[in-house]
Structure 1
């Protein structure tokens, strides 16, 4: 069963921090959740868009993913294509229809 955590809010939104906390909690329980960034949520891993909350960096907290066996984050980009240098860590790009196909088989979907 795959658990998808979809981030749609900008990095400086409080909702983004709640979603990230849930994502990291699932990762620590070895549930290997799939992170999906779309819309304003793309800023979570884009170069130059880090957000701070209580002196904690959103992007540095995502760097903790290297400690777990979570899949590569997915980014939904139909309007514009990006290059690997646009991101602070490796990502896999897909379009909305590809995401819809994956979500149809998902065990759980959490949206923040």
Structure 2
């Protein structure tokens, strides 16, 4: 089963934290969800743009993905170019895909959950 969590909200949005909670819950069940980071959500992983809520760090919580053997987050190459970012601008390893490749991956998945 392939589960994709698509994050598209800015770091301080409540939906961002709900999405991260879902991601970590699925990871603890060893379902290894694939995180997809789009648009405003790219700042969630960008160095120097950590969000805090109830004394919790968004980026430190994303670091838990590695402990659960989740695949690296997917980011879209075209969006990186549009926002003048590269893979070294993030606090963790990311995997780049094109919009076309992402569309194919999402079409073949069993679940897509968007936050």
Q: TM-score, normalised by structure 2?
A: 0.93
Note the C-alpha offset of 1:8: 0.3
For structure 1, the 5+ residue unaligned runs are none
Q: CA RMSD in A?
A: 1.1
Alignment partner, residue 73 of structure 1: 73
Q: How many residues align?
A: 112
- Could you say which residue in structure 1 is the equivalent of 2:91? 88
How many Å separate the matches in 2 of 1:53 and 1:76?
Answer: 27
Q: What is the 5 A alignment of 1:49-64?
A: 49-64=49-64
TM-score (norm 1): 0.95
- Of Structure 1 and Structure 2, the greater helix share is in 2
1:29 Cα deviation (Å)? 0.3
Deviations 1:80-102 (A, max 9, x none): 16333200000011121110010
List structure 1 runs of 4+ shifted beyond 6 angstroms: none
